[in-house]
Amino acid sequence: MNDNKNHPLQKINKSNQSEWLKKLEQASGQPIKSGTFMAGSIVFFLLDCSGSMSSDNKLPQAKKGGIQYAIEANKKGYKIGLISFGDHSNIVLEPQNNIEVFRQKISKIELEGSTNLTAAIIDAREYLSSRKGERIIFIVTDGYPDSPESAIHEAKIASCSGIEIMTLGTDDADLNFLNSIATKKEFSIKVNNVVFEQSIKDMAKLLPGK
């Protein structure tokens, strides 16, 4: 595992969260600007609910951050879908515009065993492949999947069909793996656990827009 201790986002703590966007710009190498409405834009939020997400308040943080992410993404014209993955992939919510429904669905997600990211990517890709417009898969995780090779393979298939993949991992995640499935370098970020919630929200700033 690459701890990437020198990554600029690893140095963020509660006392300097106000500088988060500046750090995000440094990590991505580009200005972070809000986009405007894009007809047909969809983002699938893929949430790791494996057993390891029980530590350090990670799953509650991810749920709160996910709600804020959905709000920000919706402001930019994106419909929001939700997939949880533990032992299995579960399409919790197909992409839509109702943030309250998203809030209700994500709040009910519970911990579930291992990390079947492959199945989650397949579910998202199969839904998005026949759609037009901007299509995004955003993966939020704290660890390594059950089958890295198959997850990378499915991610490449998604990428070849024009689907962008963003990844955000905690201290426990493997940045090399996240880099291997993200479609752009700036779409793959690893953060300190204490800013997990805030960083999920702010990843919406990277959503493509015009």
DSSP assignment string, the chain? ----TTSGGGG--GGGGGGHHHHHHHHHTS--------TT-EEEEEEE-SGGGGGGGHHHHHHHHHHHHHHHHHHTT-EEEEEEESSSEEEEEEEES-HHHHHHHHHT----SS--HHHHHHHHHHHHTT--S-EEEEEEESS--S-HHHHHHHHHHHHHTT-EEEEEE-TTS-HHHHHHHSSSGGGEEE--GGGHHHHHHHGGGGS---
* The pLDDT of residue 202 is above 70: yes
As a whole number, mean pLDDT of residues 3-32 equals 46
Residue 60 located in a structural domain = yes
How does pLDDT run across 110-141, given as a tens digit for each residue? 999 999 999 999 999 999 999 989 999 999 99
The mean per-residue pLDDT over the stretch 6-26 comes to 45
Taking the C-alpha atoms of residue 167 and residue 144, their distance in angstroms, rounded to an integer, is 12
Residue 199 lies in a domain: yes
Confidence of residue 8 (pLDDT cuts 50, 70, 90): very low
In a domain, 44, yes or no: no
Q: pLDDT tens digits, residue range 39-48?
A: 489 999 999 9
To the nearest whole percent, how much of the chain has pLDDT over 70? Answer: 81
Band the pLDDT of 38: cuts 50, 70, 90: very low
Report yes or no on 180 lying in a domain: yes
> Residue 143's pLDDT is what?
85
What is the total count of domains within the chain? 1
Q: What is the Rg, in whole angstroms, of the alpha carbon atoms belonging to the chain?
A: 15
- The answer to whether 142 and 172 are in contact (CB under 8 A) is yes
The reported pLDDT for the residue numbered 75 is 95
Show the tokens assigned to 177. Answer: 């793996």
Judged against a pLDDT cut of 50, whether residue 158 lies above it is answered with yes
What number is the average pLDDT over the span 155-167?
A: 97
Nearest CA to 155 out of 46, 2, 24 is that of 46
Structural domain range at position 54: 50-79+93-115+164-203
Q: What is the pLDDT of residue 39?
A: 47
- Decide if 72 is inside a domain: yes
What pTM did the predictor assign? 0.82
- 18 compared with 191, residue with greater pLDDT: 191
> pLDDT tier at 17 (50, 70, 90 boundaries)?
very low
What distance in Å separates the CA atoms of residue 173 and residue 167, rounded to the nearest whole number?
10
Residue 19: predicted pLDDT: 52
- Residue 108 resides in a domain: yes
Asked whether residue 104 is assigned to any structural domain, the reply reads yes
Tell me whether residue 127 is in a domain: no
